[in-house]
């Protein structure tokens, strides 16, 4: 992720499957924080399908 377009793409990918989610993207650290009712796997799949690498922080 390198720009505002990337932030929008990641945010849209998550909010497409959970419109009530809260998505925060930090371009400097390349960390995405998501508050959602969905599982981590569902969120990772959405971000990966949008063309970005994703994994849990734990």
Please tell me the total count of domains within the chain: 1
Per the domain annotation, does 55 fall within a domain? no
pLDDT score of 1 more than 90:
no
Distance between CA atoms of 6 and 29, rounded to whole angstroms? 13
pLDDT category of residue 2 using cuts at 50, 70 and 90: confident
pLDDT of residue 26: 94
Q: Give the residue numbers spanning the domain of 44.
A: 4-49
End-to-end CA distance of the chain: 20
Average pLDDT of the chain to the nearest whole number:
94
Per the domain annotation, does 56 fall within a domain? no
Q: Which of 52, 58, 40, 39 is nearest to 10 (CA)?
A: 52
Per the domain annotation, does 57 fall within a domain? no
CATH number at residue 16: 3.30.70.100
pLDDT category of residue 28 using cuts at 50, 70 and 90: very high
Ramachandran sector of residue 51 (left: φ over 0; alpha: ψ -120 to 50; beta: rest): left
Per the domain annotation, does 40 fall within a domain? yes
What is the pTM assigned to this prediction?
0.89
């Amino acid at each position: 992720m390198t720009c505002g377009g990337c932030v929008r793409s990641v945010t849209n990918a998550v909010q497409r499957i959970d419109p009530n989610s809260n998505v925060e993207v930090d371009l400097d650290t390349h960390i995405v924080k998501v508050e959602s009712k969905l599982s981590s796997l569902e969120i990772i799949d959405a971000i990966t399908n949008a063309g970005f690498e994703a994994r849990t922080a734990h």
